[in-house]
Each structure stands twice: as structure tokens, then as C-alpha cells.
């Protein structure tokens, strides 16, 4: 047992404690967290557990599933990370966050149970949220994987259905530098003889091989389920049954298709009308989220790697087409220094009129000059570019020099979006 048991009176005090507990910000592995999880019976749940991994699309896939299951009458808990604006965002029960006091009480339980085991911030938070999910007695629990899959803290929980959304190049220092290596890590969430859903349209062989090796019941996009674009407004989904027409929104159709495949694997008798309406009204903060109070259309998005930037480019292209030929797109970008900035910018350059790079004032945050250097190495780099000290100064300058027909898009990191919301919401 530790000499003293830490205690705090506020959530902020607890979060400061969590940041100081472990020598490494990220340390993959299940040994330490599983030992604490076993002590608190946080490995097996009475609820149906759905674990969602993937390079991009985890959050929106969970949001689609959450909306469908709630509309079908179930009590649904969602654990996700990282948060954008407040720690409490990491845990939702039927779309509602829990108050600070409940989180503090959960932290106290974990602090006592861990004894002399050192836990990272993410591991401690995961255990605390799992404890709260256990107390809430949900029908369904959605666990969004933090990093990778095989060695991520969430993977200590025995799930009923596992999902891999997409495979892209990100977190190469931990997961590998190619899609096959990363696919293997993500497929680590699969369970023997249980449903496994992969929404990637070009699935890596490593995912199929691992599923076969453990006899997981693998269902693949474009093979076992698929979506079809009808026109600029509607799309349809095809699994064991067809859903059509479904209205297009700013949320990714590919992830909606994956969520519907999960619902099909659950064998729930949910009417088509509920499935369609739930897909159409699902939303998630920081995913092409529109903010009010600006002189033109203003969006924020957490896209931070080439794959997510490519999808964001497609959405911006759609928005530009709706606005007309006079529409200019002003990008405000802040990124972490360990991201592939050059490829990320290359993926979206064609849809941007001018760039405004900002210093990101956080651990691993890149300076605007680093983004500028990456931009000069990117494709189609013929934009007007300005560098700013921070996000707020960039927004102040850009927002006051736009036309009503223009678009402002802020992207590059959860931290960048958080800075916007901090200033926007006060």
C-alpha cells in the first residue's frame, strides 16, 4: 500500500494528481491496469459491451450507435477520449455527462484499489469511467479505444462485439509505419468466436488473418455490408436488409454504415424508421461542428492526420459547391509536432484558399513555423500563408476579414478545437 492515499475536493485537483502519477504520458500494456481492473471486477460486465477501435471514425461510429440504441429504448453508456473542452465529456449516459462529484468518488475508489501500482492518466481515467459505468447499470456500453487496440487500456474489458473503423497512418512510434502493422494492432480488440466488424473499404490482410486465427466472426465493408450514394442528398445501406433513402449529413457515411453493421450483428429488432431517423440526427462535438456568431460559416474539426484530412476535404468541397463560386475557404490550423503535417496538408490543400498557422501551446504542440515548413514540402502549396501566436489571434484577424459567402475551417488537433471552444463559450 502507498504510504498515503491521495484525496481531493475537486475534479481539477484529481486531474492534476493523475497527470503527476506516472513517468510516461503513454505506456501501452495491459498488465498494470488489468490487475486493478480484476480487483474491482471491471473486466466482465452484465451490459453488452461494444469496443470500437480504428485510426479515424471511432467517435462518430460510437455517436451513431449511441443514438440508435437510445432511440430504441436502451440505456447506453459511452466512454471516449480525448475530451475537447471538459474532462466530463469522456463519459456519457444516455447523452448526458455525469457531474464532478461522481467522477471524484470514482477516482477515490481507483486510488485505493491501485495500491502501489503506477497508472498513467489514461489508465486511471479508464478505470474510473469503467467503475462509473458499472454503477450506472447500462444495457449497452460503448468503449472507444484510445490508442491502437491490442495494448490499449480499454482492451482489458471482455467485449461482446468488436469494431475496427478505418486504418490509416498515425501514431507510428507506437503502432508501426504501415497499414498492415497498424491493422494488426487494431485487430487486437477482436474476440474469439464473437462478432468483429471492419468498416475499412480496403481492409489490411493482417486484420483478416488475425480474425481467422482466433475464429472471430468477421464482417467486412463492401463484402458483408455496404453503402451506396444515391445523389447529393441521400444514400442507402445494404446488409441483410436495405435502408433507403437516408439523408446525407456532415457526419461520415462510412462510419454510419459500420454502425448499422454492428446493430445487425446484435440481432436487434429495431424498425427501419428508427434506424434511419437516428442516423440522420446523430451528431458529435468537434466533427464539422458549426459555431454561430461569426460573419460567415465557421466550422471546427478535429482532423489531425492524412486520412481524416482527406475526408474533411471532401466535406469542404461539398460545402463550397453549395455556397457558390465566390466562396473562399480560410483555414486556421494548429497541430501536434509528432503528426504527419506535410501529408495532412497535402490531403486538403486543394480545398483551401489561404492558411493561418498557429502555435499550439500544449505538450507536443507544434510552432506555426513548423507547420509553415511542412506546408512548403506539401503538394499544391500555392496559398497565402500567415503565422499567428495562438488560435485566438488568428480567429480575430480572419473572422474580421471575410465575406458572408466564405467559410472558416479550424482543424489539426483536439487541442486546437478546444482552444476555439474555450474562447467561444467563455
Comparing CA positions, the residue from 418, 413, 411 lying closest to residue 288 is 411
pLDDT at position 102 is 98
Percentage of the chain with pLDDT > 90? 84
d(CA 229, CA 169): 26
Which residues, 6 or more positions from 36, have their beta carbon under 8 angstroms from its beta carbon? 42, 110, 113, 114, 117, 119, 127
Give the Cα separation of 386 and 352 in Å (integer): 13
Alpha carbons 199 and 275: distance in angstroms, whole number: 18
CATH of domain 11-281: 3.40.1190.10
Question: Rounded to whole angstroms, how far apart are CA atoms 289 and 173?
Answer: 30
Cell 436488409 -> residue: 241
Per-residue cell: 140: 449497452
Q: What pLDDT score does 25 carry?
A: 65
The dihedral through the CA atoms of 99, 101, 106, 107 has a sign that is: positive
Residue 426 has a pLDDT of 40
Question: According to the model, what pLDDT value does residue 178 have?
Answer: 86
Predicted local confidence at residue 421, as pLDDT: 86
Burial of 240 (0-12, 13-18, 19+ CB in 10 A): exposed
Question: Comparing C-alpha atoms, which of 413, 402, 314, 332 is closest to residue 366?
Answer: 413
Nearest to 72 by CA among 279, 247, 294, 251: 279
Q: How confident is the model at residue 8 (pLDDT cuts 50, 70, 90)?
A: confident
Strands (E) across 351-398 are located at 354-358, 384-388
Cα end-to-end distance, the chain, whole Å: 42
Single out the residue of 65, 423, 88 nearest to residue 257, CA to CA: 65
Confidence category of residue 1, pLDDT binned at 50, 70, 90 = very low
Under the banding of pLDDT at 50, 70 and 90, the label for residue 174 is low
| pLDDT score for 422 | 82
Instruction: For residues 352 and 350, give the distance between their C-alpha atoms in angstroms, rounded to a whole number.
Output: 6
| Whole-number pLDDT of residue 147 | 78
Average pLDDT over residues 147-153: 85
Other Cβ atoms within 10 Å of 241 Cβ, number: 10
Contact 19, 125 (CB under 8 A): no
| Chain centroid to CA 205 | 24
In which residue ranges of the chain is CATH 3.40.1190.10 found?
11-281
pLDDT in tens, 188-236: 999 999 999 999 999 999 999 999 999 999 999 999 999 999 998 999 9
Q: Are 59 and 80 in contact (CB under 8 A)?
A: yes
In this prediction, residue 23 carries a pLDDT of 61
32-46, 164-178, 228-242, 262-276: which has the minimum mean pLDDT?
Answer: 164-178
Q: Tell whether the model's pLDDT for residue 3 goes beyond 70.
A: no
Total number of residues shown for the chain: 426
Q: Where do the H-state alpha helices sit in 163-252?
A: 172-175, 179-186, 205-214
Residue 106 CB-density burial (10 A; 0-12 exposed, 13-18 middle, 19+ buried) = buried
Every domain of the chain with CATH number 3.90.190.20 lies at: 289-425
Would you identify the CATH topology of the domain 289-425?
3.90.190
Residue 2 binned pLDDT confidence (cut-offs 50, 70, 90): very low
42-98 pLDDT tens trace = 999 999 999 999 988 999 999 999 999 999 999 999 999 989 889 999 999 999 999
How far apart are alpha carbons 119 and 114 in whole angstroms? 8
Q: How far apart (Å, rounded) are the C-alpha atoms in residues 199 and 205?
A: 14
d(CA 426, CA 423): 5
> Of 300, 239, 29, 61, which is closest to residue 166 (Cα–Cα)?
61
Choose from 176-180, 336-340, 349-353 the range with maximum mean pLDDT: 349-353
pLDDT of residue 170: 62
pLDDT tens-digit profile of 412-421? 999 999 999 8
Report the largest interatomic distance among the alpha carbons of the chain, rounded to a whole angstrom: 67
Lowest mean pLDDT among 181-185, 197-201, 265-269, 340-344: 181-185
Grid cell in block for residue 228: 451506396
Q: Which residue has the cell 509505419?
A: 177
Q: What share of the chain is helix, strand, coil (3-state, %, to 5)?
A: 40, 20, 40
Identify which has the larger pLDDT, 242 or 83.
242
Contact indicator for 113, 39 with CB cutoff of 8 Å: yes
Confidence check: pLDDT of 112 > 70? yes
Q: What is the dihedral of CA 246, 251, 254, 256, to 10 degrees?
A: -60
Answer for the pair 231, 238: CB distance below 8 angstroms, yes or no: no
CA distance 271 to 256: 16
- Say if CB 56 and CB 389 are below 8 A apart: no
Report the mean per-residue pLDDT for the chain: 93
Amino acid at each position: 500500500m502507498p504510504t498515503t492515499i491521495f484525496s481531493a475536493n475537486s475534479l481539477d485537483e484529481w486531474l492534476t494528481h493523475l497527470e503527476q502519477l506516472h513517468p510516461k504520458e503513454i505506456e501501452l500494456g495491459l498488465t498494470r491496469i488489468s490487475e486493478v481492473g480484476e480487483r474491482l471486477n471491471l473486466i466482465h460486465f452484465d451490459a453488452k459491451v461494444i469496443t470500437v477501435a480504428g485510426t479515424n471514425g471511432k467517435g462518430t461510429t460510437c455517436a451513431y450507435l449511441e443514438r440508435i440504441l437510445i432511440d430504441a429504448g436502451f440505456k447506453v453508456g459511452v466512454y471516449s477520449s480525448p475530451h475537447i473542452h471538459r474532462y466530463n465529456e469522456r463519459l456519457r449516459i444516455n447523452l448526458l455527462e455525469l457531474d464532478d462529484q461522481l467522477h471524484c468518488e470514482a477516482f477515490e475508489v481507483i486510488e485505493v484499489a491501485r495500491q502501489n501500482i503506477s497508472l498513467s492518466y489514461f489508465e486511471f481515467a479508464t478505470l474510473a469511467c469503467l467503475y462509473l459505468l458499472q454503477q450506472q447499470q447500462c444495457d449497452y456500453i460503448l468503449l472507444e479505444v484510445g490508442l491502437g487496440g491490442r495494448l490499449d487500456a480499454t482492451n482489458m474489458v471482455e467485449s461482446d462485439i468488436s469494431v475496427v473503423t478505418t486504418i490509416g497512418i498515425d501514431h507510428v512510434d507506437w503502432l508501426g509505419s504501415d497499414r498492415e502493422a497498424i491493422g494488426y494492432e487494431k485487430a487486437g480488440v477482436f474476440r474469439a468466436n464473437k462478432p468483429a466488424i471492419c468498416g475499412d473499404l480496403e481492409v489490411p490482410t493482417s486484420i483478416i488473418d488475425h480474425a481467422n486465427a482466433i475464429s472471430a466472426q468477421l464482417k467486412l465493408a463492401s463484402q458483408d455490408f455496404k453503402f451506396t450514394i444515391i445523389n447529393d442528398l441521400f444514400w442507402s445501406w445494404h446488409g441483410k436488409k436495405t435502408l433507403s433513402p437516408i439523408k446525407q449529413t456532415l457526419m461520415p457515411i462510412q462510419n454510419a454504415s459500420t454502425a448499422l453493421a454492428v446493430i445487425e450483428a446484435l440481432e436487434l429488432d429495431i424498425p427501419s424508421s428508427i434506424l434511419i431517423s437516428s442516423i440522420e440526427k446523430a451528431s458529435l462535438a468537434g466533427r464539422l461542428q458549426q459555431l454561430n456568431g461569426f460573419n460567415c460559416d465557421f466550422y471546427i474539426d478535429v482532423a489531425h492526420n492524412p486520412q481524416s484530412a482527406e475526408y474533411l476535404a471532401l466535406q469542404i468541397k461539398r460545402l463550397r459547391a453549395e455556397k457558390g463560386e465566390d466562396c473562399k475557404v480560410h483555414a486556421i490550423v494548429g497541430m501536434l509536432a509528432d503528426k504527419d503535417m506535410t501529408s495532412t496538408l497535402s490531403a486538403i490543400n486543394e480545398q483551401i484558399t489561404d492558411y493561418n498557422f498557429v502555435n499550439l501551446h500544449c505538450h507536443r504542440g507544434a510552432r506555426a513555423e513548423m507547420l509553415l515548413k511542412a506546408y512548403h514540402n506539401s503538394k499544391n502549396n500555392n496559398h497565402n500563408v500567415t503565422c499567428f501566436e495562438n488560435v485566438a489571434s488568428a480567429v480575430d484577424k480572419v473572422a474580421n476579414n471575410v465575406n458572408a459567402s466564405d467559410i472558416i475551417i479550424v482543424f489539426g488537433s483536439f487541442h486546437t478545437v478546444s482552444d476555439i471552444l474555450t474562447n467561444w463559450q467563455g
